[in-house]
A and B are shown apart, each in its own frame.
Chain A
Amino acid sequence: MNTTTPRQPDTQQGVAEAKPGKYLTFRLGNESYGIPVLKVREIIRLCPITPVANMPKHVKGVINLRGKVIPLVDLRAKFGLPIAEENDRSCIVVTQIIAPRSGTRLYGVIVDGVEEVANFLGSDIEPTPDFGGSIDAQFITGMAKATDGVKMLIDLDRISAADGIAASDIL
């Protein structure tokens, strides 16, 4: 089942993959992350979640987005961040990802709060530093320098592609 290991080497060549452009930035715990704004379909409030058994911890379950059943993940669990209480700024970012098999589909991400849409120039983005073999790094496509700190730019396509594989690994 390891045939679809994410394209790790690319990120560790020291070249930033993230392209300049507009990013939606959001908070997870004390850290800031960014995803390309073109990937964002909408932002909704927290809603009832139906858990799905025997899945990796970060896959919270499924939600009903106006009649569509979409998976919901908690990136804090994925990145090994401490689980924070949900507060009134918590929300779900519904993104459009490209899945290896079924093409474009929706993917919900729980975040602790949405910050802003920021425009990052090429000069703002730096390659991911070597975190010393931490597995998180494979989902980070670059670091963007903003006025209020550094945003980690992440690739949700890779994260979602790894969901199914992880599921079989834990079983």
Chain B
Amino acid sequence: MTPDPFVAIGQAHNLLQKLGLELAFVDPLEENGLDGVDGLVRQLESVLAQAPEPIPTALLVARTWIDGRLAIDGRLSAVTIARFLVWQPWLDAAVNAWEDLAPIPTLPPVWLESNWLESIGPQSAPATSTPEPQHAVLTPDAVVKVAVSDAVTAAALVSAPAPVTPSVLVPAALSDQTVSVIPADSDSEMLQLFCAEAQDLLQEIEQGVLVLEGNPTDAGSIDSLFRAFHTLKGNVGIMKLNFLQQLTHELESLLDAARQGTFRLGRDAITVILGGADILKRFVAELANQINGVEPGRSIALPIPAMIASVHSLLSKGSIPVASPSVAPVPAVAAPAALLPASLPPPASLPPPASLPPPASLPPPASKASPAATPVGGAGIVRVDTLKLDGLIDLVGELVIAQSMVVQNPELTSISSAHLSRCLSQLRGITTDLQRMAMSLRMVPIRNTFQKVARLVRDLAVQQGKEIQLVLEGEDTELDRIIVEELSDPLIHMIRNSADHGIEMPDARVAAGKLRTGTITLKAYHQGGFIVIQIQDNGRGLDATRIFAKAVERGLVSADQNLDRRGIYDLIFAPGFSTTEHVTDLSGRGVGMDVVRRNIEKLRGKIEIDSRAGEGTTFTLYLPLTLAIIEGVLVGVGEERYVIPTLSVRESFRPLPGMVTTVHGRGEMVNVRGHLTPILRLGEHLHTPFNVTDPTQGIIVVVESGQDARCLFVDELIGKQEVVIKSLGDTFRNQTDFAGAAILGDGRVGLILNVNALVKLQQAKPLGDTAV
């Protein structure tokens, strides 16, 4: 096949899919509702110009329909929608047939008769997607769809729901198939596009599957899964990844059967779908690596034959007659290993396959409503290089600074002109809006990370035989892209901890008088300029005595040390701490929580624990909204001003005489609520001239890092300010006093203190513990 038709077919598939979506969502009364369909048909016309007959005729037919409506009112009437709902699957089948070099179905002759259409009511079944010809026959080793001629004639569809033929599986052995990852003669840009799109689709598939697990009959999810696999199949076809084409095709058939109601999705089917998605994921990840230059040309082994075999066996044994009205209430999320009762809605609510005449048998528009429940992402989204995005955000940051320098310019402020001040305040308003908009470009919802967790909890529950329900809240909360990426690992670690250590075995829970099913709640919300992420389980809670004993055993604390509950909980963040007697492959190696804390602190966030024995544990993460901006307390030392991140500031005050004591060998200490906390004179430490030496004339800022605190002594407190963080660069890479720089309102550079390093300074000196 020459490359030309190949590309055309791929584009046609995409366009047809878009058309399907357009039709599913279109409102017959909407003005200009026709435009979208018109545009897609136009594109189809140009893409399919070379297609064999009768495809061009079909396009011509569509054109007359559209022109007819355009001549009247430009609205897409219900009748026209009905026409396209038949036309679109037909064209899809025709394009498929063309792709497979099979005979192309003939045009339904009625289309050429002008009065045919008026007799058709709204159709719904094929509305949301691009169905295959229903009676596609699976041949064992290839993806040959035999489009039966006249594929859309209703008679065939209604009379023969064509249970998917359990094809005979022949691959000699089910050993992994070794495939070379980068297809020959491919260009890297295409591959990158393919990768990006495949990753999105796989994500969509995973989400869909998890919804299905809770509700195996959710038509919307089945449809979206089917669509995703269908698109994937098209894409791997374009990339000539034939070995994947068969796999995607088989999975698509499985879902198609589920869509048609000839197969019910049980837990085993869901596991197979997830397994198939995992294979694709592994392939795509490997492909992405190789594109980026990691061992290009390496081949990997994928269990494709085994997976195809399991799809086949599922289809052959799970193929059930449509009438099996076993409706059972479905447990919420991630039920235990016990199989979900596979259920189907009563046959009445099943959307029967599309039918043409007789118009009397109008199917209920069930599937038409369902897509709304699963919003299709990607609408109107532009992919932008992150470098460009960061460049834009930098420029906007500079604009904001320049703006404030203009507005605060003393020469300008001395002019008393109402007109000028109006202009200036308008300028300020626009720059602020622009900055907010630019910042929001970096923000992405935390949804994807939460979805990963949902999958994890499901797997953990199955593996350990626990019953765990995951409740997600606030998935739409938006965070800086980098934070979301960096957050994923710590979050997964903490969830593992909750599932592994927190939630008890079902029997133990019942014995403790709790519900069999444990609950892990994952929440994200805004609070006071920060994003709060909370992981809450209702498991056994932390055992303070056991933690303390373990910490003593590991030499982390001495046995006579007197710690309060919070202090003991904090010990689990110490490097090398773990209380589990046996190490599972999930958690318990003791390399966990200290890394979690380090990662969170790297994001300028902090982490808190609360726990009640027997009732559960709550981890609370406080994270900045974005990494680009930090809210800081501005302090002055002599002529210099420094920024202290607000999140690290516990309190600030002017000490009264007598609060500061000099402890021999330990330097100055100040009594903060009963704790003697060492003082660091910032001016002396930074070798900068300072004005105030008497502690009672200056200001003490208590900063904390983890459970350690330190009092920074500064001349004055200037205020609170949001600043844009700038890196100090290589020149200053070996200094630890400053975490970065910021441009202040007067255009000078203010340095941001690295509180973690300043607090840890004390540990180098013989200052000992802070709690006395």
Contacts and interface: CB of A to CB of B under 8 A. Distances in A.
Given A53-B687, A62-B749, A167 B732 contact: yes
> Looking at chain B's contact residues, is the secondary structure mostly helix, strand, loop, or mixed?
mixed
B743 A69 contact: yes
Contact of B743 (A59, A64, A161, A165): A64
B397 interface: yes
B397 A67 contact: yes
* Chain B CB within 10 A, most for which of A53, A66, A67, A161: A67
B751 interface: yes
A48 interface: yes
Contacts, number: 91
Contacts of B281: none
Nearest to A100: B730
A53 B398 contact: no
B270 to A, nearest CB: 47
Contacts of B750: 50
B730 A99 contact: yes
Given A50-B640, A52-B751, A63-B749, A70 B729 contact: yes
A2 interface: no
A168 interface: yes
Contacts of B239: none
A55 B397 CA distance: 28
Interface residues of A, number: 33
Contacts of A101: 730, 733
Interface stretch (B9-17, B408-416, B566-574, B734-742): B734-742
Nearest to A53: B686
Interface in A75-105: 99-102, 105
Contacts of A48: 747-748
A36 interface: no
A161 to B, nearest CB: 8
Interface string A135-171: 0000000000000000000000000110111011001
A134 to B, nearest CB: 23
B748 to A, nearest CB: 5
B685 interface: yes
A71 interface: yes
B428 interface: no
Contact of A105 (B730, B737, B743): B730
Contacts of B741: 50, 62, 69
A67 to B, nearest CB: 3
A54 B686 contact: yes
Interface string B682-699: 000111100000000000
B112 to A, nearest CB: 65
Nearest to B738: A52
A68 B731 CA distance: 14
A73 B730 CA distance: 13
Contact of A164 (B397, B687, B732): B732
A64 to B, nearest CB: 5
Nearest to B685: A53
A171 B747 CA distance: 30
B538 to A, nearest CB: 47
B732 A67 contact: no
A62 B735 contact: no
A106 to B, nearest CB: 9
Given A64-B749, A68-B398, A167 B730 contact: no
Interface in B698-737: 726-735, 737
A71 B731 contact: yes
B457 interface: no
A122 interface: no
A143 to B, nearest CB: 27
B729 to A, nearest CB: 6
Nearest to A55: B735
Nearest to B395: A67
A55 B741 CA distance: 15
B174 interface: no
A6 interface: no
A20 interface: no
A167 B735 contact: yes
B749 A67 contact: no
Interface in B357-386: none
A10 B355 CA distance: 83
Contact of B734 (A69, A99, A102, A164): A164
B734 A165 contact: yes
A69 B733 CA distance: 14
Contacts of A52: 728, 732, 735, 737-738, 751
Nearest to A52: B732
A54 B737 contact: yes
Contacts of B743: 64, 67, 69
B748 A167 contact: no
* Chain B CB within 10 A, most for which of A64, A100, A164, A165: A64
A107 B728 CA distance: 11
Contacts of B688: 51, 53
A66 B735 CA distance: 24
Interface string B383-418: 000000000001001110110000000000000000
A160 B730 contact: yes
B468 to A, nearest CB: 44
Contacts of B640: 50-51
Contacts of A100: 730
Contacts of B726: 68-69
Given A50-B741, A51-B688, A167-B735, A71 B748 contact: no
Interface in B464-521: none
A62 B728 contact: yes
Contacts of B747: 48, 64
Contacts of B397: 67
Interface of A: 48, 50-55, 59, 61-64, 66-71, 73, 99-102, 105, 107, 160-161, 163-165, 167-168, 171
Q: Which 4 A-B pairs give the minimum distances between C-beta atoms? A: A67-B398, A53-B686, A71-B731, A50-B749
Given A50-B741, A68-B726, A71-B728, 10 more contacts: A50-B749, A53-B685, A53-B686, A55-B732, A59-B731, A63-B749, A66-B402, A71-B731, A102-B729, A160-B731
Interface of B: 394, 397-399, 401-402, 640, 685-688, 726-735, 737-738, 741, 743, 747-751
7 contacts: A50-B751, A59-B732, A64-B401, A69-B727, A73-B731, A100-B730, A168-B734
